[in-house]
Structure 1
């Protein structure tokens, strides 16, 4: 038989098929510890050369993996949590009704699940959606035949895998930055708690990739782990929190760009406003811009949030879409410049040294109030 007609090797396992939605069965079966990573890839979050997000898994945590390995190598390990996988559409299921003890209830049945085995140089037939650390630990455990429960669904697109990853990890201690970065890539409706973060996260993405943005390439994202460019100094959670505050508060300068009744948001105008304001911030604080937060508290999450609240006041006075907005915003910011201590000195009234400002509610509130108070009092003196 020629290689062109050679049958694809397969692995057949006993499985329970559960039909939760039409054409979207869920399979529950068992694999040995040493089989998991032979079948499934771990799709870690990263970005391609064009900056597009690919993958969805968090970077591996060595200490956590080693703890699982030590437990698996103990005398009586119990491993009840399944590995959740997305399967390629090439898998097939054949019901074996004669082996069922109970009549088929129309929702579940048992049978044989046939999974194509990966060939050299080709994509594996499954991807791990939840259980990355456990899968890596199992591959390193001494007991190679340890039985592991698998829960799987068929998904031939990364978008569907990513959607399930965000939902499954929603209540787990998943790094906030990773969820923040993944949210713009999820197309299906999200729970309200995540949906309210989706728009700010999309805007954060634009600010980090648009060449006209003062933040381009400066925002740390989970996909950059281990490969951060030197200019990436700002946490994305700080940028997202700053945007979210302004978008969701009725006193925020970005709030008017939302049409709540129609469920629409003028993203183009929001991006223009953010770029114009933060470009002015960069211009009036050149010595503090672009430095890591340990050298400049302007780049610290506390500084981003405080300057974001000042943004709400300034853009409440200056129309950011007007042609003279950049110069006018710089003039407004100049009122607070002499009073700022981003890289050295002690903040007046607050009493904190520049590098004592931390991302805690008290410090953020103190810094925000101080900047807004100085801004308004100086404006009154000049009027």
Structure 2
């Protein structure tokens, strides 16, 4: 077989508004000739890829099924093509104006590395891997493709296609900041908090910034603070607390630079006030635990609401948090939560009730 050639596949071009999708059949054994799995990773702090890691047990189960008699995969694999792929319309007229028959022309270059192939798998990662590994000569599958204008559009489609599936929250949080196009309201609401989280975790230019590399995400495996805990803290502040002052409530945008400065300053004081507790994982410190991150976020809102980032130095936060330290049991001792509620330090849980109890305790201690 030639090193370079065109793979031509009979296809239907279907118009959807101003967009086109292409429905076609292909031997599943050939998908990896032109499509790659773009797994999420970071390169020089920029997010690359968007797929979750292969689930080996799931792939093995699909492979066993495919090798059995009567196997069938009716769900279409979804592929994002780049602009090297083209559609050639046939001369046969279609009975409906929004559908045209023709051929997809996919350039194959067997010498290209994986990340330079002309297509990416948006949905069907495990199925395609199982077909590739199965003891079968060929296995035809249904596929749907679209020609994407860059990786940001591919990420958007990946999130939308997987909207009804249990995608890991951490993966979604990493993808959202660099995703374009329409998103479900729940995801659109999280796009700004996710951008702020990313800046705190891997985009900080401030030396020694408190969250830098400490938030656990799919591409920051060494982090020990749960990304969802930080997301909740940021969201609470954006919509009801100190970060609201930097938002445009009409379009949901915000001054990310000022928000990051505000968060960096407050949480740097937290780290200096509780140095040991800040460096320990949630199992050994309730400060880095979901309950502690959220409760201290509410403390930040109470102390700094309405105070712009450049004025935070004027309100003597170090002295205020030193007073608070006398009432904290982040790593040992007990919490006196009032109303005869005394808890061991590690008995505070990441539940709405415990977050509320801890927040009330800390705010009372502030006087």
TM-score by length of 2: 0.90
For structure 1, which segment, 313-322 or 56-65, has the greater mean C-alpha deviation from structure 2 after superposition?
313-322
Out of 64, 86, 91, the position equivalent to 2:58 is 64
Structure-2 residue corresponding to 1:335 = 323
Q: 1:375: Cα distance to partner?
A: 2.0
Task: Give matches, 1:79-98, under 5 Å.
Answer: 79-98=73-92
Which residue number in structure 2 is paired with residue 120 of structure 1? 111
Match of 1:76 in 2: 70
Selected match of 1:215 from 211, 221, 227 = 211
- Say if 1:351 and 1:66 are closer, same or farther in 2 by CA, change over 3 A: farther
1:353 aligns with 2:348: no
Structure 1 distance, partners of 2:73, 2:199, is 42
- C-alpha distance in 1 between matches for 2:328 and 2:236: 22
Displacement of 1:128 after TM fit? 0.4
Q: Distance in 1 between matches of 2:246 and 2:103?
A: 54
Contact 2:41 2:48 in 1 (8 A): yes
Aligned match of 1:19: 15
Query: How far off is 1:262 after superposition?
Result: 6.3
- Report the counterpart of residue 38 of structure 1 in structure 2: 33
Quick check: 186-195 or 331-340, which moved more?
186-195
Alignment of 1:1-383 (within 5 A): 8-22=4-18, 24-48=19-43, 50-98=44-92, 103-122=94-113, 123-208=116-201, 209-212=203-206, 213-224=209-220, 228-229=221-222, 232-249=223-240, 252-261=241-250, 264-316=253-305, 320-322=309-311, 324-325=313-314, 328-349=316-337, 350-376=341-367
* Distance across 1 between alignment mates of 2:239 and 2:303: 17
**Structure 1: which 5+ runs fail to align?**
1-5, 377-383
Contact 1:97 1:109 in 2 (8 A): no
Structure 2: stretches of 5+ with no match in the other structure:
none
Note the C-alpha offset of 1:268.
2.6
Give the Å deviation of 1:7. 9.2
Q: How many residues align?
A: 358
CA shift in 2, pair 1:316/1:190, >3 Å = same
SS at match of 2:88: strand
Q: Closer, same or farther in 2 for the Cα pair 1:89/1:335, shift >3 Å?
A: same
RMSD: 2.2
Q: SS where residue 373 of structure 1 aligns?
A: helix
User: CA separation in 2, counterparts of 1:131 and 1:357?
Assistant: 41
Deviation at 1:342, TM superposition (A): 1.3
Contact in 2 for aligned 1:277/1:320 (Cα 8 Å): no
3-state DSSP class of the match of 1:291? coil
Specify the SS of the correspondent of 1:94: strand
SS in 1 for 2:143: strand
Kept in 2: contact 1:318–1:329 (CA 8 A): no
* CA 1:196–1:156: 2 relative to 1, 3 Å: closer
Q: Aligned to 1:69, what secondary structure does the other structure show?
A: helix
- Once residues 181 and 43 of structure 1 are traced to their aligned partners in structure 2, the CA distance between those partners, rounded to angstroms, is 14
